[in-house]
Amino acid sequence: MRDGDPAPRLDEAEVGRIFLEESGRSVAALIRVFGDIDVAEDAVQEAFAVALRKWPGDGVPPNPGGWITTTARNRALDHLRHQARGRELLSEVAMLSPGHDDPGMPEEVGPVPDDRLRLIFTCCHPALSTEAQVALTLRLLGGLSTKEVARSFLVGEATMAGRLVRAKRKIKAARIPYRVPEAHELPDRLRPVLAVVYLVYNAGLTSRAEPGLCAEAIRLGRILATLMPDEPEVAGLLALLLLTESRRASRQRPDGSLVLLGEQDRTRWDRALIEEGQTIVRRCLRRNQPGAYQLQAAINAVHADAPTVEQTDWSQIVALYDHLLAVAPTPVVALNRAIAIGEVQGPAAALALVDELDLDNYHPFHATRADLLRRLGRNSEAAAAYERAAAMAPTEAERDFLRLGGRASR
Amino acid sequence: MTQYLLSAHSVEGEARDPMTDEEMQQSYKQLDLLEEEMKSAGAWVFSGRLHQPDTATVVRMAGGEVVTTDGPFVESKEHLGGFYIIEAENLDAALAWASKVTAAIKVPIEVRPFVEAKA
């Protein structure tokens, strides 16, 4: 039916979008077939180069992902047949998959839904450093270029390329397996996977250079939620990301300074994201197997319900923080719980809790103290706390904002 | 199959509770059982326990001659107390064995792959 139909218009940006959507799936499938990450990566890269040449004239095939995977597979086979090491690899592949003894057949590489799941568990194996986990996940699953990954984490391209090479070498030499962990291993093995996705999101949130990372993290979160529908913390993480994302547009002033939750323009919150996030939170509540991500999502869901900061159901938020502190007893959680308690019992109660925390190197700690002291009318102490917070704040805009608070309380 | 070195690292003067004789017996018994398990699973290649590092001697080339000196090669608080060489399907399988070893002797185990010999 192609004849006569005008080929859909297609430019490089469109191929780029399809690349982001499909490359992780293709790389994952080819790693399964060839058992080699570099072979898979190079072949998928090459298949997209072919697509960039052919699609503008021929039109996008009905199943672009399948086309890319099959093309990449055939390219890889061609290359491997021409190298001694490649022929060795191919004989291993043939041994591993009897029935596919002629891997040259141009059959479609069947979709195995687990491929990307295997890949993310390999990328986030606890034997790899967190830095390597993040880099591999963005590169292999997210389809970001080495340059883009480098820029996201403020390191040079050569440094990032070296990090990726070392990580892949370790996977190969130590034989980090390409498999989904068994049920009894899952709690341990899922933790770094969720942490990587959360880290990617937060990198996007704080880096003005790469807001695309937020979308990337949500995309990874959605993939995980689809592939592991029975894991409550996977759902919790996705809900947390969606609810945080719903406020992203209103959390920064044009100069880059942070707008606190209470001062945000709530009409700018994205209702569709809130609706989606809250639906997931309600499902989690019914399942009743709470974990740290689900509880943080639930707290965000309560905020999203309040049309104004005054109408926030603070006692419910305190209850959720009590629960969160029990499963994740960190000083930062305790600080946020104290802030919520301040909204219910007043600033004196909150200050008493805050002053017990050992967070001297964390600037929000000093900003929180400053705010509580100001509300208690202890102005000179408040001014000193604002000054300490400002001295530690990471951006110029935040420093200015905190100094403004300091002057107001003098 | 890949071969892995599981090395048991002790830290001199590390503040861990010294084992009682009974605990020591228990630990040896556990290790014996573990070694049997490794052997019957076909994972065991070799294992050994080493004397204290001050029993070590180093030979090295210096000015074209072999020079022998006393002492461990690196003076450090950490030293290799013993090791296993095992064969495992992949890192996860090797880590599972290493977990059993550390549970028995309570010191950290480093897991490191051997370069595969060319067939």
* Mean local confidence (pLDDT), A217-229: 92
pLDDT at B97: 97
Contacts within 8 Å (CB) and 24+ apart, B111-116: B111/A174, B111/B4, B111/B5, B111/B6, B112/A174, B112/B4, B112/B5, B112/B7, B113/A173, B113/A174, B113/A175, B113/B2, B113/B3, B113/B4, B113/B5, B114/B2, B114/B3, B114/B4, B114/B5, B114/B85, B115/A173, B116/B2, B116/B3
* Mean local confidence (pLDDT), A70-80: 93
- Residue ranges covered by each domain of chain A: 12-106, 330-410
Are the beta carbons of B104 and B29 closer than 8 angstroms? no
pLDDT digits (tens, 9 = 90+) for A247-303: 998 988 887 777 888 889 999 999 999 999 999 999 999 999 999 999 999 999 999
SS3 category, B68: strand
pLDDT band at A104 (very low <50, low <70, confident <90, very high): very low
**What is the C-alpha to C-alpha distance for residues A205 and A353, in angstroms, rounded to an integer?**
28
Domain carrying residue B40: 2-12+20-113
Q: Considering the domain delimited by A330-410, tell me its CATH architecture.
A: Alpha Horseshoe (1.25)
Q: Would residue B100 count as lying in a domain?
A: yes
Q: Which of residues 10-29 of A touch B (CB under 8 A)?
A: none
Residue B111's DSSP bridge partners are: B6
Q: How many domains are contained in chain B? A: 1
pLDDT at A65 over 70: yes
A49-63, A212-226, B14-28, B64-78: segment of lowest average pLDDT? B14-28
Nearest to B91 among A127, A181, A185 (CB): A127
- A340 CB contacts (<8 Å, ≥6 apart)? A314, A317, A318, A321
Residue A403, both tokens: 């100094």
pLDDT band at A381 (very low <50, low <70, confident <90, very high): very high
Percent of chain A's residues with pLDDT above 70: 90
**What is the C-alpha to C-alpha distance for residues A188 and B51, in angstroms, rounded to an integer?**
36
Q: What is the pTM of this model?
A: 0.83
pLDDT at A399: 83
pLDDT band at A97 (very low <50, low <70, confident <90, very high): very low
Are the beta carbons of B90 and A176 separated by less than 8 Å?
yes
Question: Which residue in the block uniquely carries the two structure tokens 């000196």?
Answer: B69
Q: Is A241 on the interface with B (CB under 8 A)?
A: no
Radius of gyration for chain B, computed over Cα atoms and rounded to the nearest angstrom: 17
Decide: residue A326, CB within 10 A, 0-12 exposed, 13-18 middle, 19+ buried.
exposed
Are the beta carbons of A218 and A224 closer than 8 angstroms? no
- A297 CB contacts (<8 Å, ≥6 apart)? A236, A237, A239, A240, A243, A277, A280, A281, A284
pLDDT at A219 over 50: yes
Q: Is A175 on the interface with B (CB under 8 A)?
A: yes
Q: Would residue B119 count as lying in a domain?
A: no
Cβ contacts of B115 on chain A, cutoff 8 Å: 173
pLDDT at A102: 44
Amino acid letter at A274? I
Q: Which of residues 99-158 of A touch B (CB under 8 A)?
A: 125, 127
Rounded to whole angstroms, what are the CA distances from B89 to A103, B68, B93, B97, B111? 25, 40, 6, 12, 14
pLDDT at A208 over 70: no
Cβ contacts of B112 on chain A, cutoff 8 Å: 174
Cβ contacts of B111 on chain A, cutoff 8 Å: 174
pLDDT at A341: 96
Closest residue in A to B119 (Cα–Cα): A88
| Chain A interface disruption, residue of B5, B90, B92, most A CBs within 10 A | B92
Are the beta carbons of A117 and A228 closer than 8 angstroms? yes
What does the mean pLDDT of chain A come to?
Answer: 87
Cβ contacts of A125 on chain B, cutoff 8 Å: 91
pLDDT at A112 over 60: no
pLDDT at A193 over 80: yes
Q: Is B91 on the interface with A (CB under 8 A)?
A: yes
**So what's the ipTM on this one?**
0.85
For residue B8, what is the domain's CATH number?
3.30.70.1060
Q: Is B2 on the interface with A (CB under 8 A)?
A: yes
pLDDT at A285: 93
| Chain A interface disruption, residue of B1, B90, B97, B114, most A CBs within 10 A | B90
Q: Is B113 on the interface with A (CB under 8 A)?
A: yes
**What is the C-alpha to C-alpha distance for residues B55 and A359, in angstroms, rounded to an integer?**
48
Amino acid letter at B61? M
Low-confidence ranges of chain B (pLDDT < 70): 13-17, 118-119
